[in-house]
């Protein structure tokens, strides 16, 4: 995690809370996290793009030994997710038992606590994903 | 460019070296390499220190000056080279460039990592620094976990069974028995591997490289300067590095490491050889599935057929492509920043005929592949015995 830092969290709030990535004005590629240069065509005219909040699980794992700051959450699921527009990201899955997760499972974004920056640091929030059927 | 020779090598055992510090390990391996090269410390023109996590685990940076001071060679050029777990292979590439350029004659490239100073959550935090801290590490993903995403996707895409992939760990341990510098010199069975605890599903503990401490060093010099001696001469036939998009979500296909494909292709071209000409291989099997993928991406097997190579004995000492005959990352160990240099040293031993029970008869061309991140940085170095 590096040293505890408020500005580091603050400047990413918009992208992490609202799932905003970048769209290339030349080739149309949409990527997350946001950036200034298109990884596909190298063009540097990128605009912010709100990403879809639903997608599917491409691959997943169950973390049983956690890095510092996540020890109390084990076991938890981390997944590679493809959003409905084709953009991919890595996220924790929530509101689901590890044994119920499947590749291809439909998921939706929810706002959750991510981690604490140590006992006296700030609390980081952001997006996790849960099974789409959980809301039905 | 000048041709470059590897004239000296040295390693420490990979272990939990409670009694030795980061600098102790580095100096121990370096002194062995200098002695092996038959030069004096004062002959060195430059030192490259490969290391990943000294800043986090020891609170120590500025390793170029630190290690040169402890080697008693102030005044020379020195720096740390960091490329996560590929630090060793990338530092070797930098040392190669330095000698090839004509600027320096005698260059020491040494890798060192000391992981046993920290408890597990801190080691896991250090290792995930190889990936995006803002958008990947913040999910709680571990480095093992990212490799687990690759493992599952690979099994799904190619229909390969875990029991075939996990055989690579059994292979590594069988060969580490003969390596006095290996961390684990005991044989294991497939049943033990598959019944060991899950670390990050589907990766079992015994499919995963351990944490440990170690240092490995080599001395590089212009080939023209070693032509006078009678010993075996080993030159660097190729040295290439390639990077991929840092994180898995940025890639089209996570079951192929395109940085390996690219670095290998460029290295074969530079060495003027094909994959089939390689006599002995040390590749970066930090996890069993990654090792299987490496066999494919380096051009030794078709996609989806890497595990078959292991099963059919093709990577054994007498096989078509002898691979990881000193225990690989699983059993020799993986002191991350040093691993790439352990691989180079092991290839040198093979080409010199000093590999003991693991010796591949008449080995002339050896390849070392070192990976940083989940295939994010890959070095492929090819050594060749020229006399």
Greatest alpha-carbon pair distance for chain A in Å reads 46
Q: What's the N-to-C CA distance of chain B in angstroms? A: 21
| Residue-range domain boundaries for chain B | 4-119+211-226, 120-208+237-385
Please give the distance of CA B292 from its chain centroid, rounded to a whole number.
15
The reply to whether domains B4-119+211-226 and B120-208+237-385 share a CATH topology is yes
Domain membership flag for residue A72 = yes
Cα separation values, A27 from B191, B250, B252, Å: 50, 16, 16
The residues in A 15-74 lying below 8 A from B, measured between CB atoms, are 16, 31-33, 39, 58-71, 73
Instruction: Answer yes or no: is pLDDT of A121 > 90.
Output: no
Q: Which long-range contacts (CB under 8 A, 24 or more apart) does A42-50 make?
A: A46/A22, A47/A22, A47/A23, A48/A20, A48/A21, A48/A22, A48/A23, A49/A20, A49/A21, A49/A22, A49/A23, A50/A18, A50/A19, A50/A20
Q: What is the CATH number of domain B4-119+211-226?
A: 3.40.47.10
Q: How many whole angstroms separate alpha carbon A62 and alpha carbon B141? A: 9
Range of the domain at A29: 6-135
Q: How many whole angstroms separate alpha carbon B270 and alpha carbon B366? A: 14
What is the CB neighbour count within 10 angstroms for residue B375? 30
Decide yes or no: CATH 3.40.50.450 for domain B120-208+237-385.
no
Q: What is the mean pLDDT of chain B?
A: 97
Decide: B128 and A71 in contact? Cβ < 8 Å. no
pLDDT in the model for residue B19: 98
3-state class of A123 per DSSP? strand
Q: How many whole angstroms separate alpha carbon A30 and alpha carbon A22? A: 6
Best residue of A67, A117, A118, A130 to probe chain B, by most B CBs closer than 10 Å? A67
Which one from B62, B79, B85, B171 is the annotated catalytic residue? B85
Domain membership flag for residue A1 = no
Domain membership flag for residue A36 = yes
Domain membership flag for residue A54 = yes
Least trusted range by pLDDT, from A92-96, A99-103, B227-231, B292-296? B227-231
Regions of chain B with pLDDT less than 70 = 227-230
> Sheet holding A30-31: strands in order across?
A30-31, A20-24, A46-50
Determine whether B229 is an active site residue. Answer: no
Q: How many whole angstroms separate alpha carbon B62 and alpha carbon B31? A: 20
CB contact under 8 A, B120 and A76: no
Instruction: Answer yes or no: is pLDDT of A134 > 80.
Output: no
Question: Which residues in chain A have their CB less than 8 angstroms from residue B145's CB?
Answer: 61, 63, 78
pLDDT in the model for residue B229: 60
Q: What is the mean pLDDT of chain A?
A: 94
Global pTM exceeds 0.95 = yes
What is the interface size between A and B, counted as CB pairs within 8 Å? 113
Domain count, chain A: 1
Nearest to A59 among B152, B197, B247 (CB): B152
């Amino acid at each position: 995690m590096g040293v505890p830092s408020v500005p580091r969290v603050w400047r990413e709030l918009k992208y992490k809370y609202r799932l905003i990535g970048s769209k290339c004005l030349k080739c149309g590629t949409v990527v997350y996290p946001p950036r200034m240069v298109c990884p596909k065509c190298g063009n540097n005219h990128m605009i912010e793009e709100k990403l879809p909040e639903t997608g599917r699980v491409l691959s997943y794992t169950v973390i049983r030994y956690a890095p510092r700051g996540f020890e109390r959450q084990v076991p938890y699921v981390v997944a590679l997710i493809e959003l409905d527009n084709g953009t991919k990201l890595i996220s924790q899955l929530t509101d689901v038992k590890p044994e119920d997760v499947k590749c291809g499972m439909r998921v939706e974004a929810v706002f959750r606590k991510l981690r604490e920056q140590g006992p006296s640091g700030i609390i980081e929030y952001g997006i996790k994903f849960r099974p789409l059927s959980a809301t039905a | 460019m000048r041709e470059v020779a590897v004239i000296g090598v040295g390693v420490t055992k990979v272990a939990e070296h409670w009694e030795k510090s980061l600098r102790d390990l580095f100096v121990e391996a370096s002194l062995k390499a200098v002695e092996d090269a038959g030069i004096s410390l004062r002959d060195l023109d430059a030192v490259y220190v490969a290391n990943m996590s000294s800043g986090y685990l020891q609170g120590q940076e500025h390793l170029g000056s630190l290690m040169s001071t402890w080697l008693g060679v102030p005044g020379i050029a020195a720096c740390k080279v960091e490329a996560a777990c590929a630090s060793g292979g990338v530092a070797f590439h930098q040392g190669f460039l330095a000698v090839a350029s004509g600027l320096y004659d005698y260059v020491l490239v040494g890798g060192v990592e000391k992981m046993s100073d920290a408890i597990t959550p801190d080691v896991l935090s250090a290792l995930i620094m190889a990936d995006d801290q803002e958008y990947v590490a913040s999910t709680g993903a571990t480095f093992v976990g990212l490799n687990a995403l690759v493992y599952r996707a690979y099994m799904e895409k190619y229909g390969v069974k875990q029991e075939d992939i996990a055989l690579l760990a059994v292979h590594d341990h069988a060969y580490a028995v003969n390596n006095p510098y290996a961390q684990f010199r005991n044989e294991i069975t497939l049943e033990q591997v598959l019944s060991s605890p899950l670390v990050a599903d589907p990766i079992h503990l015994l499919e995963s490289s351990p944490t440990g401490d170690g240092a490995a060093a080599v001395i590089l010099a212009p080939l023209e300067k070693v032509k006078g001696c009678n010993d075996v001469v080993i030159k660097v036939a190729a040295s290439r590095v390639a990077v991929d998009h840092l994180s898995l979500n940025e890639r089209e296909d996570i079951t192929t490491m395109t940085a390996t494909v690219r670095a290998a292709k460029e290295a074969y071209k530079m060495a003027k050889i094909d994959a089939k000409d390689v006599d002995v291989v040390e590749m970066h099997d930090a996890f069993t599935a990654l090792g299987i993928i490496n066999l494919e991406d380096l051009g030794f097997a078709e996609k989806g057929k890497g595990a078959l190579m292991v099963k059919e004995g093709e990577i054994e000492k007498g096989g078509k492509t002898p691979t990881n005959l000193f225990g690989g990352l699983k059993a020799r160990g993986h002191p991350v920043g040093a691993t790439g240099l352990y691989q180079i040293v092991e290839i040198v031993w093979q080409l010199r005929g000093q590999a003991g029970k693991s010796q591949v008869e008449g080995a002339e061309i050896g390849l070392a592949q070192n990976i940083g991140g989940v295939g994010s940085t890959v070095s492929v170095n090819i050594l060749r015995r020229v006399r």
